[in-house]
Structure 1
Amino acid sequence: MNEVSDRMAAVAAAGSSVTAGSRIAGLGAYRPADVVGNARAADAAGVNPEWIAQRIGIQERRHAAESETVVTMAVEAGKEALANAGFTADGVDMVILATCSMPSPMPNGAAQVAAGLGCRAAAGFDLNAACSGFSHSLAVADCLVKSAAARAVLVVGSERMSDWVSARDRNTGPIFADGAAAALVVPTPTPEIFPVAWGSDGGRADLIRINAATGYLEMDGRKVFGWAAGALTPVIRTACDRAGIEPGELKAFVPHQANLRIIGAQSASLGAPGLVTATDVTHAGNTCAASVPLALHALYRNKQIRTGDPVLLFGFGAGLTYAAQVVLSP
């Protein structure tokens, strides 16, 4: 190297401080006030309430009001995450918004979330991996923190899925819902977010899609069930292997809250009797990228997990995409 390149390398080295790992320092959530029970959802979809409860496992879900946007819900969830971490907005230098339900591709939502929180000059981008978006975003945040590209990353999953489904469609209307949840990721001397196991199966992307003519989400529920309940089992095991933990040593399992039957099949595949498995879908519905952090927040709030407990997070959905990682509870 010449003198100029030597000087550049020295400046770059002085400005970096690679850390061994990252951790979740705080969690936050926002659930819209409008609770839609099965009677109301069933009437719109032309089915009976018992059909919804038995087939999907949902008793109620939340729908956002006009003033509750993807961005405003994300801001509220972010506020709680920062408060729980004892962190100020000024300390956040990156916001990642996991969402697939922004009303328009531009402007992005993350920059608006950063502004709403008062994160001055924080970088921000949206990440669309649908229902596995939060798990993808958490993995990206972990990499950013460990490489010193960012020191404090706010990861938010926020969705207004009620805008993208027809209430009259029995395959989607009673299932999808709205909400947001956030996690603040910061450096730590020893890893508390472990290596991700992720991938995609784009050859089957048409199983969950937006119909260009109607603007509504369509889903082949039977085929999605088979994929999620069977083909993804090795991914769950791989995430445990990469964290150096046996499934029986986990304290909780937080899969994407698609429906109770899928959750039950995935939990059983771990072969860990007594494992706490999140079933937030019963009262929250399927909130896509918000479902995993909402379910994790519920376990934390209800004291079903304690600080330092190993928890397996697992997102999967449209794309088809999937991502799983073990984390230690904040």
Structure 2
Amino acid sequence: MRLADTVAGARILGVGSFQPEHVVTNADLAKRVETDDAWIRSRVGIAERRIADAETLLPDMAVEAGTAALKDTGFDPAGLDAVVVATCTMPNPIPNAAAQVATGVGANGVAAFDLNAACAGFSYGIGVASDMIRAGSARHVLVIGAEKLSDWVDWDDRSTCIIFADGAGAALLGPAESPDEVGVGPVVWGSAGDIASTIRILGESTNKLHQEGQAVFRWATTAIAPVALGAIERAGLTPADIDVLIPHQANLRIVEAVAKKLRQKGAREDMVVADDIVHSGNTSSASIPMALDHMRTAGRVRSGDVLLLVGFGAGLSYAGQVVVCP
């Protein structure tokens, strides 16, 4: 028996994203539930979010983001070996999104599977894809985080309707032929199933998303900074080496709390911190790649920057890794 030839590791070759056109502002939500712009901004930091129409399906958004990531490098989709779609909001478990998305981007016949780690899904996907490439199971893997949370939100529940939104983000991973080219560090991941009920879909009668906001906030502001520091250590770096922090865009207060704790451990004051949630809302597994793509387009992230990605959410699940910006 002969094992596949292996490489030193993986690197990100390109990124892309997609958001629906329809913008829902805080003022729009105030027409339906008892809230206002100041209340929403003070609690979650969101000013507006994008919501897809009924005709736009989750795989449609994933195809748009995946196609954008492929175009970012001019990569021929026929050269893909696998498509991984991180999502927790498909309307049904069968068929999965990934096979449809693979066909949609022009990669018929490749390995394709969905991965559900909720808001940590993209970081889980990057970890899995990186290991596939390093082990020789694949050379080029398209990882997409895509969510249509609007299908699962109770629009009369003030605690959730102000937070969640729709969108997709993608990254194309390829092989690093030498150790000097490795651009994806080891994943640090885990779970907290003992508090899984804090984020869940309610019973058959409602089928809507429920979140115990304060409990999740306390967990995230306590547990996630150590995960981030662990990812830095596993990559052989120090907090001072991180140029950009891109945590899951769950809540601006959580993002700021994680950044503060990293700076207390040696991260630089000029470390750029993603705040895409302000204009995109919480898009679960899509939030990290979407933030990266938006920041790169805006010039806030440059090729070669050292990025720290940290996803966390329902499950409860979490994962983080250091990557190099393509």
TM-score range, shorter chain: over 0.9
Q: In structure 2, list runs of 5 or more residues that go unmatched.
A: none
Question: How far has the Cα of 1:231 moved from its partner?
Answer: 2.1
Contact 1:42 1:52 survives alignment (8 Å)? no
| Residue of structure 1 equivalent to 2:274 | 278
Correspondent of 2:207 among 207, 215, 221: 215
- 1:132 pairs with 2:120: yes
Range that drifts further, 60-69 or 201-210: 60-69
Q: 1:307 offset after TM fit, Å?
A: 1.3
Q: What SS does the aligned partner of 1:232 have?
A: helix
Which of 300, 324, 329 is residue 320 of structure 2 equivalent to? 324
TM-score by length of structure 2 reads: 0.96
- Does residue 111 (structure 1) correspond to residue 99 (structure 2)? The answer is yes
Unmatched runs of 5 consecutive residues or more in structure 1 = 1-8
CA deviation after TM superposition for structure 1 residue 300, in Å:
1.2
Asked if 1:227 corresponds to 2:219, the answer is: yes
User: Contact 1:42 / 1:174 at 8 angstroms: preserved in 2?
Assistant: no
Deviations 1:199-254 (A, max 9, x none): 00000000000001310000000010000011222111101101111112211000
Q: Distance in 1 between matches of 2:223 and 2:143?
A: 28
Aligned partner of 2:260: which letter?
A
Mapped pair 1:292 → 2:288: yes
Q: State the partner residue of 1:41.
A: 29
Equivalent residue, structure 2, for 1:178: 166
Which secondary structure state, in structure 1, belongs to the residue aligned with residue 310 of structure 2? strand
- Which whole-Å CA distance do the structure 2 matches of 1:232 and 1:259 have between them? 13
1:167 aligns with 2:167: no
Instruction: State the alpha-carbon separation in 1 of the partners of residues 303 and 189 from structure 2.
Output: 26
Q: Aligned residue for 2:66?
A: 78
Letter in 2 for 1:194: G
What's the counterpart of residue 4 of structure 1? Answer: none
Which residue identity does 1:204 align to in structure 2?
I
Q: What residue in structure 1 maps to residue 140 of structure 2?
A: 152
- Provide the identity percentage: 47
Given residue 288 of structure 1, which amino acid in structure 2 is its aligned partner?
Answer: S
Q: Tell me the equivalent position of 2:242.
A: 250
SS in 2 for 1:45: coil
The number of residue pairs the alignment matches comes to 318
CA RMSD after TM alignment? 0.9
Amino acid at match of 2:290: L
Q: For residues 276 and 33 of structure 2, what CA distance do their matches in structure 1 show?
A: 22
**Matches of 2:148 and 2:108 in 1, distance apart?**
26
Runs of 4+ displaced beyond 3 Å = none
Deviates more, 1:125-134 or 1:40-49: 40-49
Q: CA deviation at 1:313?
A: 0.2
Task: Name whichever of 136-145 and 43-52 sits farther off.
Answer: 43-52
Q: Could you tell me whether the CA contact under 8 Å between 1:176 and 1:287 is conserved in 2?
A: yes
- Work out the CA distance in 1 between the residues paired with 2:28 and 2:147: 21
